[in-house]
Amino acid sequence: MEQQSQMHAADMQNCCEVVAVRHGLTDYNAQRRLQGQLDVPLNDTGREQCRECGHRLKSMLGEKKSIPIAAIYASPLKRTKESAEIIRQTAGLKQEIILDGRIQEWNAGVLQGHLLDDLPKLFPKEWNAWNRRTRDLFSLKARASRSGHLLDDLPKLFPKEWNAWNRSRDPRFVFPQGESFQERFDRVKEFFLEVTRRHLGQRILVVTHGGVLDDLFRLVRNIPMHVKTNAPKLNAEIHTVKAHINKVPPTVPSPSVSTGSSSSSSTSAAASPTPHANITAAAAAASAAATAAAEVTWEIVSWGKLTKSDSLLSGQVDTHTPIDISVRNIEYA
């Protein structure tokens, strides 16, 4: 037993385990109303979901060879702060909650506060510019209706058209007063790469939003931005991933770039940037960012669970297996 514990500790030495949880249910969730970064609180159902999540986490932490939670991070919005606090208390965790704005939900701008089903009618120009799939989906539905096919059968019956529809989202499109999916992904990626290095050899809890979990799944699976992840992300469900940090040789600074300041005027003059040095510095920064991402190998330990409709669409699969579900409603909350 002691030898197994030592092996487990050695396995975690160059690894950070992330326990990621979406906040509990809100009234906006129940109404299918897009929250985005609106500061909507949990409802009573959401609070109970978080208590149940806390009990599951406590049970998970009580297992043999389990390592404790070293830190708790949460989005600063009310629904995530309250979810994190309920989970923390129920699971018996003592750490203070660290708030980080990088793991807030997608800022959907003018779309926020409206029912999801009303968005194409309220903002037709913007909606079609961002989500060019709308017209194609209506066409697919019409074909299915005329031929008597079920909507759930469309991916199999019309794979070429379905894939064209399913891959046409513009990740850089910005709704008025909002941000693009690419911008959200960039800040979410920055957060997870940073905290996994900070907590090497540890396990952390991150309480966040459905859109952020979507980006985490995209990061872990290396899914292109224009392709939907279709990752299950129910309220107050536990998702566990590991970031394995690969050891790489330290980067040697370029001699043509100043790496620090000096009190000597002659040294300062010699180190003043030239066009060549600026280009080299920019290239070095880009290379460092790429290297940082390449250093991490991601592993999915478990990913939530599927809804009943997900299970029907995907067939008989293990409920903790991440799969590609072609037909599902993605909710940004």
- CATH number of the CATH domain containing 56: 3.40.50.1240
Query: Are 107 and 221 found together in one domain?
Result: yes
Same structural domain for residues 234 and 309? Answer: yes
Average pLDDT value over all residues in the chain = 76
More confident residue, 161 or 328: 161
Strands annotated E in 86-165? 97-99
* Binding-site residue set for substrate: 22-29, 79, 132-133
Is residue 55 located within the same domain as residue 155? no
User: What pLDDT score does 333 carry?
Assistant: 43
Q: Which candidate, 322, 242, 251, 240, places its Cα nearest to that of 292?
A: 251
Query: How many whole angstroms separate alpha carbon 40 and alpha carbon 114?
Result: 13
Beta-carbon contacts of residue 217 (< 8 Å; ≥ 6 apart)? 223, 229, 231, 233, 303, 322
In the structure, what pLDDT confidence band is assigned to residue 120 with cuts at 50, 70 and 90? Answer: confident
3-state secondary structure of 97: strand
- Examine the pLDDT at 212 and tell me if it is beyond 70: yes
Of 2, 8, 17, 23, the active-site residue reads: 23
Give the highest mean pLDDT range of 72-81, 148-157, 250-259, 275-284: 72-81
Q: Is the pLDDT of residue 197 over 80?
A: yes
Annotation marks residue 194 as catalytic: no
Q: What's the mean pLDDT in 231-253?
A: 80
Q: Would residue 87 count as lying in a domain?
A: yes
Angle, to 10 degrees, between the axis of helix 133-147 and the axis of helix 159-166? Answer: 150
% of the chain with per-residue pLDDT over 70:
62
Same domain as 14, residue 31: yes
52-77: per-residue pLDDT in tens? 999 999 999 998 778 999 999 999 99
323 belongs to a structural domain:
no
Query: What is the pLDDT, as a whole number, of residue 146?
Result: 54
Taking 60 as the threshold, does the pLDDT of residue 223 lie above it? yes
State whether 240 and 202 are in the same domain: yes
**Distance, CA of 319 to CA of 16 (rounded, Å):** 24
Most confident of the ranges 133-142, 150-159, 289-298: 289-298
Name the more confident of 330 and 18: 18
Does 260 reside within a domain? yes
Residue 329 within any structural domain of the chain: no
How far apart are the C-alpha atoms of 160 and 166, rounded to whole Å? 10
Residues 225 and 303 in one domain: yes
Residue with the bigger pLDDT between 203 and 333: it is: 203
- Bridge partners (DSSP) listed for residue 245: 296
pLDDT (tens digit per residue) in 269-310 = 333 444 444 445 555 555 455 545 558 999 999 998 654 444
Q: Based on the domain organization, do 101 and 209 belong to the same domain?
A: yes
116 vs 258: which has the higher pLDDT = 116
- Residue 203: strand pairing partners: 17, 69
Same domain membership, residue 144 and residue 26:
no
Q: Which of 1-15, 43-57, 260-274 has the highest mean pLDDT?
A: 43-57
Same domain as 79, residue 34: yes
| pLDDT for the residue numbered 281 | 53
Pairing relationship of beta strands 296-303 and 238-245 according to DSSP bridges: antiparallel
Structural domain includes residue 320: no
pLDDT of residue 135: 47
Inside any domain, residue 331: no
Confidence bin at 105 (pLDDT 50/70/90):
very high
Helix/strand/coil (H, E, C) string of 262-322? CCCHHHHHHCCCCHHHHHHHHHHHHHHHHHHHHCEEEEEEEECCCCHHHHHHHCCCCCCCC
Closest CA to 23 of 103, 91, 98: 103
Predicted confidence at residue 158, as pLDDT, reads 64
Nearest to 50 by CA among 80, 92, 76, 95: 80
Whether residue 315 is predicted with pLDDT greater than 90 in this model: the reply is: no
Tell whether 219 and 304 lie within a shared domain: yes
Q: How far apart are the first and last CA of the chain?
A: 43
Cβ-proximal residues to 159 (8 Å cutoff; 6+ apart), any chain? none
Spatial distance between the Cα atoms of 268 and 260, rounded to a whole number of angstroms: 9
Number of domains in the chain: 3
**Is 23 a catalytic site residue?**
yes
The answer to whether position 326 is within a domain reads no
Query: Which pLDDT value is given to residue 168?
Result: 56
pTM: 0.71
Asked whether the beta carbons of 181 and 225 are under 8 A apart, the reply is yes
Residues 158 and 25 grouped into a single domain:
no
- Four-residue CA torsion sign, 107, 108, 112, 117: negative
Is the pLDDT confidence value at 34 over 50?
yes
Euclidean distance between CA atoms 80 and 206, whole angstroms = 10
Output the pLDDT for position 126.
83
DSSP state of 39: -
Catalytic residue among 17, 82, 105, 126: 105
Q: Which residue has the higher pLDDT, 243 or 331?
A: 243
Same-domain check for residues 153 and 262: no
Residue with tokens 């800022």: 107
In a domain, 199, yes or no: yes
Determine the pLDDT at residue 119: 86
pLDDT of amino acid 254 = 39
Domain of residue 260 covers: 250-294
pLDDT band per the 50, 70, 90 thresholds, residue 149: low
